[in-house]
């Protein structure tokens, strides 16, 4: 299968637009990335992760998101693919480089689409016989507590290379934190808190202030097709996997689906 078969129309934004407008555009178009341009030419990519990281930098804490430009947060080093590239190869590239997606350029170097992990997830809807337990991540799970500082939780996510994590009390799942939720919480803070108080107050933002309460939960025997469908419906990249009493036993994410696709949609070999 080629990239051209599943890529989607890019949502573009000029690098000189306000970051607040970019955040609204991401939500309005239900996308996780914007293609940043200058004079019609590709110059960067902007994601929720980029926005969260920019707003969390100490030297810009006192600046409202409405006064920052897209160029201040975008990723300017952009890896691109072509429409005739194989999906498997692109999934391997995403996993190896820690990317959630990339622009698609034709042979004239024009942006003709974007492809990301949510687009890969659409392909998972046909795998009705594979349960979550075959693909879920179950070891070394990164979690947060509701009273943890948000900036620490975001740093943990960055260090571990994850875009979503369960929020727990012991083993019981209470919520979900994603890069999107972190970005939105940081944006609210930058607008609502007076400038003179920002530097001190940002350390008081807790995970509970940003997390999705009562997130969707799945069981290990749930077909991955159903999980993929719900992820797309709810625009969430991570679901906690629980057993009785909502006790966490793993997570299933768009990254797990991308690894599955990179393996040519074959289940990983079981080890003794």
Domain containing residue 236: CATH number: 3.10.580.10
The three-point CA angle 222-158-206 to 5° equals 85
The DSSP symbol for 9 reads P
Helix (H, G, I), strand (E, B) or coil at 91: helix
Tokens of 7: 């890529």
Domain assignment of residue 104, given as a range: 3-124
Tens digits of pLDDT across the chain (272 residues)? 999 999 999 999 999 999 999 999 999 998 989 999 998 899 999 999 999 888 875 444 556 788 899 999 999 999 999 999 999 999 999 999 988 899 999 999 999 999 999 999 999 999 999 999 999 999 989 999 999 999 899 999 989 989 999 999 988 999 999 999 999 998 888 776 655 655 566 677 899 999 999 999 999 999 999 999 999 999 999 999 999 888 999 999 999 999 999 999 999 776 54
- Is residue 136 domain-resident? yes
Whether residues 156 and 258 share a domain: the answer is: yes
Whether residues 17 and 111 share a domain: the answer is: yes
Whether residues 9 and 113 share a domain: the answer is: yes
- Is residue 270 domain-resident? no
- Is residue 267 domain-resident? no
Whether residues 116 and 164 share a domain: the answer is: no
Domains contained in the chain, number: 2
Do 47 and 117 meet the contact criterion of CB atoms below 8 Å apart?
no
Q: With CA atoms as reference, report the closest residue to 236 among 260, 255, 259.
A: 255
Whether residues 163 and 72 share a domain: the answer is: no
- Is residue 269 domain-resident? no
Provide the whole-model pTM: 0.91
Handedness of CA 232, 76, 9, 50 (dihedral sign): positive
Helix (H, G, I), strand (E, B) or coil at 10: coil
Q: With CA atoms as reference, report the closest residue to 144 among 238, 19, 63.
A: 238
């Amino acid at each position: 299968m080629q990239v051209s078969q599943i890529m989607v129309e890019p949502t573009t934004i000029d690098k000189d637009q306000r970051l607040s407008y970019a955040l609204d555009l991401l939500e309005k178009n239900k996308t996780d990335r914007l293609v940043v341009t200058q004079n019609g030419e590709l110059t960067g990519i902007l994601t929720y992760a980029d926005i969260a990281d920019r707003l969390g930098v100490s030297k810009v804490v006192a600046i409202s998101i409405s006064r920052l430009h897209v160029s201040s947060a975008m990723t300017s080093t952009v890896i691109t693919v072509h429409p005739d590239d194989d999906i498997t190869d692109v999934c391997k590239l995403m996993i190896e480089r820690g990317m959630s997606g990339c622009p698609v350029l034709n042979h004239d170097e024009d942006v003709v689409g974007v492809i990301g992990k949510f687009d890969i997830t659409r392909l998972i809807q046909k795998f009705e016989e594979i349960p979550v337990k075959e693909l879920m991540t179950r070891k070394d799970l990164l979690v947060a507590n509701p009273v943890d500082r948000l900036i620490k939780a975001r740093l943990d996510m960055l260090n571990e290379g994850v875009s979503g994590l369960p929020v727990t009390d012991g083993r019981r799942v209470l919520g979900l934190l994603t890069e999107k939720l972190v970005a939105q919480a940081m944006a609210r803070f930058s607008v609502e808190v007076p400038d003179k108080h920002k530097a001190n107050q940002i350390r008081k933002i807790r995970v509970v202030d940003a997390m999705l309460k009562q997130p969707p939960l799945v069981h290990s025997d749930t077909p991955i097709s159903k999980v993929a469908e719900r992820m797309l419906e709810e625009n969430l990249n991570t679901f906690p996997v629980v057993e009785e009493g909502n006790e966490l036993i793993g997570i299933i994410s768009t990254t797990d689906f991308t690894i599955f696709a990179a393996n040519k949609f074959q289940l990983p070999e079981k080890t003794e």
